[in-house]
Amino acid sequence: MAKPSTSSSAWHKALMTIRELGGIIRTTDAIQAGIHPRTLYQLRDSGELEVLSRGVYRLTAQGDISDPDLVIVATRVPQAIICLVSALAFHEITTQIPHAVSIALAKGSETPRLDYPPLSVYRFSEAALKEGVETHQIDGISVKVYCPEKTLADCFKFRNKLGMDIVLEALKLYKARKKFNLGELIRYAKVCRVEKVMRPYLEATL
């Protein structure tokens, strides 16, 4: 498709709006912002926008994304909280390379339909879901991730699925790379109902 004149008011307005929104936009948000779908597709076809995932676009001129998988998930599934191995990787307290993005959702909520990246969905109780959530900015997008201490408690809770080798490695790297906060670890262990399981391992690291 031939690129229309850059003086096109619709193009200019659309590009300005997308920049103001951080350079990444969903089709539904674009329409709400007054961008016609035809304009969005023309920007895509001309190379001004690239497709991150179905219905998610970003300005090509912005360069590479530091963590595209987390950005896509945060954009497509804004209620999701990055958890378990994906959160360990974000906080750099694991040597594991996640093959899917692990997300926490409320029990009973609808399972997201995402073509990419692959998801591992974990259901949390209301109390466990809301505790220890941090919001980080990645390439202008707000991404919700559990803090390291909450993540470790969650890993102990799901230790049978993850494997204790991954959990214990994460605890070791946490002690080596982060400020060891025993009080917060115990607090989140109580929230996740794994205090009896976690405490001996925590005491052994002191």
Query: Would you say residue 185 has pLDDT above 80?
Result: yes
Best CA proximity match to 18, nearest among 53, 54, 46, 60:
60
122: left (phi over 0), alpha (psi -120 to 50) or beta: beta
Query: Would you say residue 3 has pLDDT above 60?
Result: no
pLDDT at residue 1, as a whole number: 44
Query: Would you say residue 65 has pLDDT above 70?
Result: no
pLDDT at residue 15, as a whole number: 81
Give the separation between CA 154 and CA 146, rounded to whole angstroms. Answer: 9
How does the average pLDDT of the chain come out, rounded? 88
Best CA proximity match to 130, nearest among 86, 81, 85:
81
pLDDT at residue 168, as a whole number: 96
The predicted-structure confidence for 10-49, as pLDDT tens digits, reads as follows 888 888 887 877 777 878 888 888 888 888 888 888 888 8
Mean pLDDT within 88-94: 96
**DSSP alpha helices (H): ranges in 112-158?**
126-130, 148-157
- Identity of the residue numbered 162: L
Mean pLDDT within 111-127: 89
The total of other beta-carbon atoms located within 10 Å of residue 42's CB is 20
161 CB-near residues (< 8 Å, 6+ apart): none
* Cβ density class 65-96: b for 16+ within 10 Å, e for less: bebbbbbbbbbbbeebbbbbbbbbbbbebbeb
**pTM for the structure as a whole:** 0.76
Query: Which 3 state secondary structure label does DSSP give 47?
Result: coil
Query: Which 3 state secondary structure label does DSSP give 177?
Result: helix
The predicted-structure confidence for 122-171, as pLDDT tens digits, reads as follows 999 998 999 999 999 987 789 999 999 999 999 999 999 999 999 999 99
Query: Would you say residue 6 has pLDDT above 60?
Result: no
Query: Would you say residue 5 has pLDDT above 60?
Result: no
pLDDT at residue 63, as a whole number: 67
pLDDT at residue 155, as a whole number: 98
Query: Which 3 state secondary structure label does DSSP give 53?
Result: strand
Query: Which 3 state secondary structure label does DSSP give 25?
Result: strand
Does 78 sit behind a cis peptide bond, omega within 30 degrees of 0 on the bond before it?
Answer: no
Give the separation between CA 180 and CA 81, rounded to whole angstroms. Answer: 23
Q: How far is CA 41 from CA 51, 111, 141, in A?
A: 10, 28, 22
Query: Would you say residue 174 has pLDDT above 80?
Result: yes
